[in-house]
């Protein structure tokens, strides 16, 4: 088998195995959560007999291993189960929520990825000068502040004081694209600030590492401009680590939106997950956790495969 194809197949197999192990971890984590969905449904005044009957009806009295095997069997058939609190099909409920989360993550990526690469190139072009220091200081400050605090600060100044954007990011299918983009302006801004620093600094570090190469010195001796050297010679040869960090941050944009969705009351998977954690609705928590894990593992696999295909040393290991 071709070495590159063999490495890709190994990464795919490893990803599937990792997802299986994550499913076990999610199940174990959910069954040890404090609280009881039966108590949540019936309230604090429920009698022990009523609680016992409801637990029996919901299948909560079955052995943990049996419940896991039933859950896993349903997953393999594409069945995410039924919410215990309202009896709704989880897959149907998550469809629109997942679309909203991906919509938010997509536009945050559209803004943050090109901006991070541009700022990284700009920092390299003016390295050790004031633009480089200013960009590094601002991005480091943004990554050091908790995202919920950034969200509340932007909400107060931009949404309340200036009135430039709505403070509640509630979207629905009847809205036009322009209305949706205006509604999610603040969440997208927060997510951009959160992931920008990591991508920018990795872009800067990867390009500076390539700038030490002999062919860069040759290009400088030929009299090429510094911008042309960075854009035409250094950047293409540092693309693999940049793609890696971009994919990691794209995974974060999908998985890490939980806090942002709660802050801005955004109707995505994160808000849905938090609502059902408070109700101790275990099947919903399991389904959301597994989808988030699948997205994170999948994007990391894509980054790994791109690195293999972009790096001859990985395609042809000794």
Along the 318 residues of the chain, how does pLDDT read in single tens digits? 666 677 778 888 888 888 888 888 888 877 777 666 776 666 666 677 777 777 777 677 777 788 788 888 888 887 777 777 777 778 888 888 888 888 888 888 898 888 888 888 888 888 878 888 888 888 777 777 888 888 888 888 888 888 888 888 888 878 888 888 888 888 888 888 888 887 888 888 888 787 777 777 777 777 777 777 777 777 777 777 777 778 778 877 877 778 888 888 888 888 888 877 777 777 888 888 888 888 888 888 887 777 777 665 555 555
Roughly what angle, to the nearest 10 degrees, separates helices 282-310 and 3-31? Answer: 160
Q: Assign residue 81 a region: left if phi > 0, alpha if psi is -120 to 50, beta otherwise?
A: left
Four-point Cα dihedral 103, 109, 162, 140, nearest 10: 140
Residue 313 has what pLDDT? 58
Q: Which pTM value belongs to this model?
A: 0.79
Q: Report the Cα–Cα distance between both ends of the chain, in Å, rounded.
A: 15
Domain ranges of the chain: 1-79+286-318, 109-210+237-267
Q: In whole angstroms, give the CA distance from residue 37 to residue 58.
A: 9
Per-residue tokens: 288: 């959301």
């Amino acid at each position: 088998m071709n070495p590159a194809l063999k490495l890709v197949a190994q990464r795919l197999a490893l990803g599937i195995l990792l997802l299986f192990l994550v499913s076990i971890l999610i199940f174990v984590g959910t069954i040890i959560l404090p609280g009881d969905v039966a108590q949540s449904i019936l309230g604090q005044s429920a009698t022990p007999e009523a609680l016992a009957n409801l637990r029996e009806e919901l299948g909560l009295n079955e052995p943990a291993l049996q419940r896991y095997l039933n859950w896993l069997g349903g997953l393999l058939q594409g069945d995410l189960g039924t919410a215990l609190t309202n009896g709704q099909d989880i897959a149907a409920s998550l469809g629109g929520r997942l679309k909203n989360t991906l919509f938010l993550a997509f536009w945050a990526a559209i803004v943050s990825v090109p901006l991070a690469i541009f700022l990284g190139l700009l920092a390299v072009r003016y390295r050790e000068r004031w633009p480089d220091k200013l960009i590094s200081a601002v991005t480091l400050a943004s990554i050091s502040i908790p995202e919920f605090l950034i969200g509340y600060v932007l909400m107060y100044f931009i949404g309340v004081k200036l009135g430039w954007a709505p403070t509640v990011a509630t979207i629905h299918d009847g809205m036009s694209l322009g209305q949706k983009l205006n509604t999610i302006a603040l969440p997208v801004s927060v997510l951009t600030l959160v992931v920008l620093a990591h991508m920018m600094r990795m872009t800067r570090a990867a390009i500076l590492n390539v700038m030490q190469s002999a062919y860069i010195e040759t290009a400088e001796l030929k009299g090429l401009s510094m911008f042309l050297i960075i854009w035409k010679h250094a950047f293409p040869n540092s693309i693999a680590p940049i793609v890696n960090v971009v994919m990691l941050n794209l995974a974060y944009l999908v998985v890490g939106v939980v806090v942002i969705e709660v802050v801005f009351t955004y109707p995505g998977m994160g808000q849905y997950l938090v609502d059902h954690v408070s109700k101790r609705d275990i099947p919903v928590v399991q389904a959301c956790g597994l989808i988030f894990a699948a997205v994170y593992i999948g994007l990391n696999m894509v980054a790994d495969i791109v690195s293999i295909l972009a790096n001859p040393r990985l395609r042809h290991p000794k």
